[in-house]
Amino acid sequence: MFKVAVIEDDIPTSNQLREWILSAHPDITVEQWFTRDDAEAALAREQYGLVVLDIELGRERHAGVALINAINKRASGTPVLVVSAMPATIYRGIMKALDAWDYLQKATFEEAEFIDTFLEILRALPGNPARGPTA
């Protein structure tokens, strides 16, 4: 079973991302986390095939950076797709330097771009979970 973690403190945004993921690939399991502490605990105990996360969680402006570092310490090779309102001109390069797969700036992308990026990541993974009844 392929699992995706959506780490986003804004519940409507988190739900939208979950729905887009499931519309692209309904047989994926999506787990949602809304705080850095809950996300860190989940990342420590679960193996996710992909993580979609926001940089800013609650009042913690760079919680996503800490989470990416935690993912990288596990050396699991888990791809990270960052979805944040922080300016892409500044943060895309920073996230790439942290080995994030890509960076999408909120309010500047549509569902189709998110799904295309999501499926691109899946196609690049070993075992290619995008090869399924809906891919």
Among 83, 120, 87, 86, smallest CA distance to 7 is for 83
Q: Look at residue 129 and tell me if it is in a domain.
A: no
Q: What is the pLDDT of residues 63-106, one digit of tens each?
A: 999 999 888 887 678 999 999 988 888 888 888 888 899 999 99
Please give the Cα distance from 116 to 33 (Å, whole number). 23
**Any idea what the CATH number is for the domain that residue 45 is in?**
3.40.50.2300
Do the domain assignments include residue 59? yes
In this prediction the pTM is 0.89
- Residue 134 belongs to some domain of the structure: no
Most confident of the following: 51-55, 89-93, 107-111: 51-55
Q: Containing domain of residue 13, as a range?
A: 3-124
